[in-house]
Structure 1
Amino acid sequence: MVASLPRLAVLDNLPITKKERETSKTIVSEFYEYLPYKHNRKKNVVNILQKRETGTSGVHYRNSSKLKQTYCYGKSQCFFSRSLSAASLGLQCGPPYIQCPALVIYIRKKISGFVLGNSSTILPTRALWLFGTLDGEIVVVNHETGNLVGYNSSIGMINSVLGLCWLKKYPSKLVAGFDNGCLKLFDVNHMPAKLGDRSCGSGAVHFEDFEQLTSVHVNSMDDQFLASGYSKGVALYDISTGKRLQVFTNMHREPINVAKFAHHSPCMFATSSFDKDVKMWDLREKPENPCYTASSSRGNVMVCFSPDDLYLLVSAIDNEVKQLLAVDGRLHTNFNITSTGSAHNYTRSYYMNGRDYIISGSCDEHAVRICCAQTGRRLRDVYIEGTESGKSIFVQSLRGDPFRPFNFSVLTSTMRPTAKQEIIKVNLLASSHDADESSRDQGIYPYCGL
C-alpha cells in the first residue's frame, strides 16, 4: 500500500518514514510486478500503435540519438502485442489488489464441470463455454452473445457430469464422463440449442465404462483419451473404434485426481494425486515406471502442461503452486502464495496469455492470483464479487481465455446450497465503464434457463 500510494503520509495514525517507504519499494519490486512483461512505467497506447504501423521498435542505442528502425517480423509482433497489453493494463493500474468489473452468466443448476472453448485453428473465433451439471446435463453457451449453442440431457439417467474435454482437430466434438462411469462422445452440431430437449442422447458415441470416473483428457492427435477417477490407475481409449485399449494400474499410492496429455506429443501425459506426487509417463514405454516423479508437501489437486509443453503447472492443497520443467521435473518457479491453514482449500491453477502468466484460485477464497510464470512475481490479486450484496462467493474453477490477453473466466460457488452459480468473465484491460457498456452491447444478461 505504501509503495502504490506515494502521497500517503499517515498509516494507522502513524507517520510513514523514509525508511519504511524504501523498504516497501524493495518488497514490491521483489514480489510484485507494477506492469506486465517487465514494463516499469506507463506507456501511451497511441504511441505504441504508431510505432507498430511504421515498423519502429522505439529502442534507443547509445551511439545514436535516432530510433533504430525495425520491421515487424516474428517476435516483433509479439513485442507490440505485449506492449499494448501492458499499456492498456497501465490505464487501469492501481494497487495490486483490485476488484474487477465482470460480465456474469447465471446458472440455476449446480455445475460439476467447466471448460472454455478450445484454441483450435480450425474455428479460432468460437467463444464457447462448455459445462456439465450435477443432473447430467451438458450445456454449451456462447459467452460473447449469451446464447445457448447446444444442450443434452440423457433420457432416464441422472448422473453428474464430472469430466469434459474438447477435441482439438474437431472443435465441435467433445468427450464427457459421468459419475456412474459412462463415457460419451458428443458433437455440438448435433445438439439442439433448446433447453429440455431430451431426444439428442442417441447421437452420442458410447465407450466402455470407467468406474468412479472424475476426469477425461484427449491427446493432441484426437485419436485417444485418458480417463481417471477414484482409483490408482487410468484407462486409455481409442476414439475412432470406441474401444478401451488398456488399463494402467497402481500408478500412484492414492487415487489420481487428474491425468493430462501434453499439447503436442500424443504419447506423453502427466498424472497428479493426493499422494503428493506428480508423475510423467510415456505411452511408448511400458507404464510400469514413470519418466520421473516430483513431489509436493501437500496433496496435489491438479497438473497441466504449458501451451508449448516446456513446463508443468502443479497445484496442491492450500495455495501450494509451482512450475516444473517438463523434461525432468525440476523446480522452475515457486509462486509463494500464502496458505490459509485449511486442509480443504483445494487450489486450481491454469496458464493465461500463452505461458506468460498463471491464474490461481482456491475453493475457500474469493481471490484470483495472477503471477508471472517466469519470475513468480505477483501482478494482481483480483477479488471476485457476487452480484448479490452480502453474498460470499468462492472460486470453484477458472480458465484463461485462449484468444484474448488478460481475460479469464471464473466458476464461482457459495455456501448456500440453493443459490445460483455464476460464471464470471473478467477483462483486466477494460475499465468499469467499458465492462458495463460491453455487457449491454453484447446482450449478456442473466441466463436462468437451466
Structure 2
Amino acid sequence: MKNLSDPLKRLLSFLIGDPQIFTLEHRIFNGINLLGLLIIGYNIPFNYLTGLTISAYIFALIFLFLSGVYYLSRYKQKLNASITISSILINVMFAVNYFFSSGIQGASLLSFTFSFFLIMLITPSAQHIGWLLFNLLLVAGLITTEFYFPQSVLDVYPQREDIYIDMGSTYLFTITGIFAGAIYMKRAYYEEKKKREEKTNVLEILNAEKSKLFSIISHDLRNPLASIQSYLQLLQDIPLEEKEKTQIESELLYVVNNTQEMLTNILLWSKTQLDGLVVNLTPVNVSDAIMPIIQLNRSAASKKGISLQHNIDTSMSALADVNMLQLIVRNLIGNATKFTPAGGNISVQSFPSGDDCVIVVSDSGSGITAAGKDDIFSLKVRSTFGTENEKGIGLGLFLCKEYTNAQQGRIWHEDNEPKGSSFYLSLPLAN
C-alpha cells in the first residue's frame, strides 16, 4: 500500500500543487478545476451523441475556458483572478445552455446546483451570500423567461428516453462530484486541523517551559543581589577587619562570577530564540580554543579544593564554531566544578576517534540521578544546587546540546565508577 500511495501522492501534488508552495484553498481550487474538467469533458461527447449538438459545443467552450483557468491558477498562481473568472464563466455558460437543452425539462438546473456547490468550495466565505443571491436570481430569471417566453427554449430531445438518460447521467455526475468534493474537503480539513493541533501543543509546551524558566531565573537572581546587599550593609553598619573583608569579598566574587555565567547562558539562549542559530564552521585548534577556558575555571576549582587536570592534544583541529565550542566546554567544566565536592577531581581530555575529535570532561562529583538523565539536555528545567549551594537552572546543558547539533556533532553523558560523571563532545576532525 505504501509503494502505491507514494506515486499517487506525487501525481496529486503535480496536478493540484505542492503543499509546501500552494495553500489548502489553492489546492482545493485546482482539484475542483480538474474535477470540473473531467465532468465537462464527459458531457461533450455525451450531449453530441444524444442529439444535444449545441450543448456539446457550449460544453466544449466551457472545457477550453476552464482549462485556461486551471493553467492560470496552477502554473501562474493567480488564484483570486482564476476564482472570479471561473465562477462567472460557468454560470454564464450554463445559462446559455439552459435555452439549448430543453430548459426546465432538461438537466440544466442540476448543473446549476453542482456549479453552486463548487463555487461555495472555492470562494472566500465573505462572498458566499453574494454568490448565493447571484445563483438564485440567475436561475429565477431563466425560469421566469421560459415561463413567459416558452418559444425561447429549444426542445432538443429527439426521444423520450433521451430525457431520462440526460437527467440520470447528470444527476449521477452531480452527486458523485459533490461526494468527491465533500470527502476531499473533509479530509483536508482534518489534516490541517491535526497539523494545527500539533503545532499548538508544541507551542504550549515550549511556552510553559519558558514561563517556568523565567520564573526560576527571577528567583535565582535575588540570591546574589541579596548577598551583595548584605555585604554593603555590613560595611556600613559594622567595622570589619581586613581579613574578614577579604574573605567576604572572595565569596562575593565567586557568587557574582557564577551569576554572570548564568546570565551569559540566558542572554545567549534569548538571542538564539530571537535571531536563530548562526554557525561559522572553521578548522579550530582544540587546544588553542579550550585552554583559556580551563585556565579561567582553574581558580574556581581551586577555591573549592578541586584538582582540575587536562590532557589536550595540541596538534588536533576540529571543524567547529570556536565561540560555540568554548561555551560548551565552559558549561561542562562549570557544571563539574559545581557538583564536585572539596578534594574531588576534574579532568579535561581530547583525542581523535575515527573521523571525529572527542573532548571529555570527567568529574568525581555527585553524579546524575536516574530520574534526571532523560532530561539533562532538554529545556525541562530542574532547579539544582551544587555542593556549596551554587544554584543552577539547567539551561547550560540545553545550550550545549543545541550548539553541538548546530556544529554537526554529538554530546552524551556516561556515569563514572565509583561515582561522578563524564560528558563527551564529539565534533568532526578538520582535514
The TM tier, using the shorter chain, reads under 0.3
Structure with the largest fraction of strand: 1
- Scaled by the length of structure 2, what TM-score is found? 0.24
Q: Which has the higher contact order (CA 8 A, sep 6+)?
A: 1
Structure with the largest fraction of helix: 2
